[in-house]
Amino acid sequence: MNKLIIFRIDYLISLGLILTFFCFSCKSSTDVESLPTPIIENTIANIEEKPEIDYDITQWKEIINNKRLLLDIRYATDNNFTEAQIYECARCFLRPELAAKINRIHNDIQEKYGYGLKMFDCYRPRPAQQKLWDIVPNAMYVTPPKKGSMHNRGLAVDLTLVDKNGEELDMGTEYDFFGKEAHRTYDHPNPIVRKNRKLLKLLMETHGLTGIRTEWWHYSLKTVSYDFSDWEWPCS
C-alpha cells in the first residue's frame, strides 16, 4: 500500500514537471514569435540635413530665392551699370524689420494680384559701396561711401514686380538706368508703365517704405535705425 502511494506521488511529480516544461516552452515560443521584427535603419541618413546658420540672426534675416520670391542680385554678376562683379556671391540680407515687411508685401501682392517680387539688391556692405564708387565716382549715380547709403544699413531694397510666370512687369526702363525716364516723377507715355509703377509705389508705401525721386526701384525703411555695416556675408 505504501509503495503504491509513493509510486503515484512520484508519477504525479514527474508528470507535473513534464507539463510545466512543455507549457513554458510553448509560452516562450509564442512570446518570441509575437514580437515584431526589429527594423534596422541608418538613422544618420534619415535625418534631414538643415543648412547651418552662418550669420547673426538677431541682426540679419535672409531672403531666400524661391518660385514665389525671386532673387536677381545684379552686383553679384557683371550685369550691372559698372560691368563688374561687386559681390562675391548672391545673397539677400536685410534687417529683421525690413525683411518682415518684404515678406508681408510679397504675400499681399500674391493674394490680391497674383504677382510676386524680384530683388535686385538688398544689404550692401560698405566695402562694396567703396567698390562702386571707385568704378563710378559720381554722386549722381552712386552714394559716396563717406555719406553712406540706406543699403549700407540693411534698410533698403532695389526691386520690381513679376507676374505669375516670374516675368518682370514693364517699368519703362531697366534696373539701374540713369536718366529721367527712371525718375518716379517722370510721366511715362505708356499707360501700362504708369500703372505698374503706381502699383509698386502703392504697395511699398502702404507697408511703410519710402522711395527716392530718381529711381523707381529703390525703397527704404526709415522708421528704424541701424549703423552702417561693413559685415560681408560668407559664400558657401
Q: Supply the pLDDT for residue 68.
A: 75
- Rounded to two decimals, the pTM is 0.77
Q: Supply the pLDDT for residue 140.
A: 85
- Mean pLDDT over 186-205 rounds to 97
Q: Catalytic site residue 49? A: no
Report percent pLDDT > 70 for the chain.
78
How far apart, in whole angstroms, are the C-alpha atoms of residue 117 and residue 69? 5
- Mean pLDDT over 153-172 rounds to 97
Cell of 133: 564708387
| pLDDT of 10 over the 60 cut | no
Alpha helices (H) in 35-145, listed in sequence order: 43-46, 96-113, 126-135
Catalytic residue among 62, 97, 168, 215: 215
148: left (phi over 0), alpha (psi -120 to 50) or beta: left
| pLDDT of 136 over the 70 cut | yes
